[in-house]
Homo-oligomer: A and B are copies of this chain.
């Protein structure tokens, strides 16, 4: 039997805001926005794609991606070159610098997450969250 509680949605949203507040200083210290970090993560997980496919995989609009990719490319964090086989498409991937930046940021985020999870059964929570998300 379950006691009175807030809606799942309300709790998840509050936790989401808390996590963003936690991550934002880390991202800022490394000079990337949340979306830029999401892009780096997306490219690390699946390095070669068209921009449209990347946009869909991270849940963003393809037009929103463009200034983000422009910036990441200018800073040497991603590669972005026309596909020789179909010059309409752009092959995307992390550079060594991009890979390292992502690794560094994610490492800090993991430390912060561990601090948050230490009061609960973290493994069980993460397992359930993975199944639900």
Query: Which residues of A does B touch, CB under 8 Å?
Result: 2, 5-20, 23, 38, 41, 59, 106, 109, 113, 116-117, 119-121, 123-133
Contact = CB atoms under 8 A, between A and B. Distances in A.
A63 to B, nearest CB: 20
Given A12-B133, A106-B7, A120 B128 contact: yes
Of the listed residues A20, A123, A129, the one surrounded by the most CB atoms of chain B closer than 10 A to its CB is: A129
A16 B12 contact: yes
Nearest to A15: B133
Nearest to A11: B133
Q: How many copies of this chain does one complex carry?
A: 2
B133 A128 contact: no
B124 A15 contact: no
B7 A41 contact: yes
28 contacts: A2-B123, A5-B126, A6-B41, A7-B41, A8-B19, A8-B109, A8-B116, A8-B126, A9-B19, A9-B109, A10-B38, A10-B133, A11-B130, A12-B12, A12-B15, A12-B16, A15-B133, A116-B132, A120-B128, A120-B131, A120-B132, A121-B124, A121-B128, A124-B124, A124-B125, A124-B128, A125-B132, A128-B128
B126 A125 contact: no
